[in-house]
Amino acid sequence: MTTTPGQPSLVRRLGTADAVVVGLASMIGAGVFSAFAPAAAAAGAGLLVGLGLAAVVAYANATSSAQLAAQHPTSGGTYVYGREHLGPWWGYVAGWGFVVGKTASCAAMALVLAAYAAPPGWERPVAAAAVVLLTAVGYRGVTRTARLARVIVAVALLAITTAVVASLAGTAPRWSAVLDPDGAHGGWYGVLQSAGLLFFAFAGYARVATLGEEVRDPRRTIPRAILVSLGVVVVLYAVVAVVLLAVLGPDGLAASTAPLADAVAAGSWAWAGPVVSVGAVAASAGALLALLAGVSRTGLAMARTGDLPGWFAAVHPVHRVPHRAELAVGAVVVVLVLTTDLRGAIGFSSFGVLVYYLVANLSALRQTAPHRLYPRALQVLGALGCVTLVATLPLASVAAGAAVLAAGVALRAVRVRS
């Protein structure tokens, strides 16, 4: 799908390095600071297997997204791919799932940021202020978004590295706890549930695909950026998981509300605690910045085809961004952070994102030989993985996600018939 004549287009300003940084900023967010504890509660030391499964599903999904983005280098991601390869309804389901799921994820990132940065009682106002500030950054243009993402990723990686080293300093890590079969529990269901929880921490790997209209040489840049950023994060998460299990143990990790902070506290570098807080704020801000950009670009694509009001299809004449869509997304996220809780936002987001990637895998299966970069077996694996991980989500999250998805489908049905 391309823009039609007379339709304002975005500008291709991002190179490979910029795209990799956007992908890293999308993934190195609240997940690395919070997802390991519930994963340990579900599977104990078995969370390492869950991490591996989540990485495999993420890789399969990433190859589908990369292959599709190379053929369709325009804004909208799987919303566009679903329309092109499966039909308008499939595209709409993907787009709706992405917009509502990732809008909830934006709220989750903002709430995690505020949990580390705000004094008690001020979490929600600080979260709302962060959304307003980062929406303003995105409004000024995608190159500013990429530049700020570079700074945020650097700060987050420095903080995580410091936390890992500080956790090991002055302690006696029990490396045997990492691979001890007695430390695993929950059986295969527990492992799958931990994979579903940890998938949330990977879910930003294809964010660069939603910026396809702003990437230079998209057929080469997009696949490379997606896979490089995913590979870096898989290694980072594996290191963090091993250190947390060795320092805190499976039970201690499961009971923690701030795993990296608790691991640092177990060491002898007391000064490193504030560094972890700074890293959590930076990582959450980076993920929130990239998410706001991705949701607004999908909204732009849906408005261009009439699945959202055409008012959202406007592109700013100076900054060349979908400014109305960005402002609307920012406003909705502000409302969410003032009215919802973190646990509900994460569960709801996971449902929407997995539906989105299911459509991506099914769309990639329909691509013809000239556009294929990866074997079809990866798309089948990705689709099965999405369905399996959805089944592991809490029942309340599945019910809420299905209800909102059904409401969106009903709204489109009314619009089509009218």
Whole-angstrom Cα distance, residue 61 to residue 363?
A: 11
Q: Answer yes or no: is pLDDT of 1 > 50.
A: no
Query: In sequence order, what are the residues at sequence separation of 6 or more whose Cβ sits closer than 8 angstroms to the Cβ of residue 209?
Result: 65, 66, 68, 69, 77, 78, 222, 226
pLDDT at 271: 86
pLDDT at 126: 94
pLDDT at 5: 47
Q: What is the pLDDT of residues 47-69, one digit of tens each?
A: 999 999 999 998 899 889 888 88
* Structural domains of the chain in order of their starting residue, each with its CATH number: 16-413 (1.20.1740.10)
The pLDDT-based confidence of 355 (bands split at 50, 70, 90) is very high
**Which value, in Å, is the radius of gyration of the alpha carbons in the chain?**
20
pLDDT at 376: 94
Whole-angstrom Cα distance, residue 95 to residue 364?
A: 16
| Axis crossing angle, helix 218-255 with helix 47-71, rounded to the nearest 10 | 160
Q: Answer yes or no: is pLDDT of 124 > 90.
A: yes
Q: What is the pLDDT of residues 229-283, one digit of tens each?
A: 888 888 999 999 999 999 998 989 988 877 888 888 888 888 888 888 888 888 7
Q: Answer yes or no: is pLDDT of 299 > 50.
A: yes
Q: What is the pLDDT of residues 389-411, one digit of tens each?
A: 988 877 888 888 899 899 989 98
Whole-angstrom Cα distance, residue 415 to residue 418?
A: 5
Q: What is the pLDDT of residues 359-395, one digit of tens each?
A: 999 999 999 998 888 899 999 999 999 999 988 877 8
What is the pLDDT averaged over residues 293-306? 80
Whole-angstrom Cα distance, residue 36 to residue 249?
A: 12
Q: What is the pLDDT of residues 332-353, one digit of tens each?
A: 999 989 988 776 777 788 888 8
pLDDT at 384: 96
Q: What is the pLDDT of residues 156-190, one digit of tens each?
A: 888 889 989 999 887 778 888 787 776 677 788 88
Greater confidence (318 vs 325) lies with 325
Whole-angstrom Cα distance, residue 24 to residue 233?
A: 7
Number of other CB atoms surrounding residue 265 within 10 Å: 17
Average pLDDT, the chain: 82
Q: How far apart are the first and last CA of the chain?
A: 25
What does the DSSP assignment read for 206-264? TGGGGBGGGBSSHHHHHHHHHHHHHHHHHHHHHHHHHHHHHHHHHHHHHH-SSHHHHHH
What is the pLDDT averaged over residues 36-47? 88
pLDDT at 2: 45
Q: Answer yes or no: is pLDDT of 206 > 70.
A: no
pTM: 0.78
pLDDT at 277: 84
The pLDDT-based confidence of 85 (bands split at 50, 70, 90) is very high
Q: Answer yes or no: is pLDDT of 209 > 80.
A: no
What is the pLDDT averaged over residues 278-294? 81
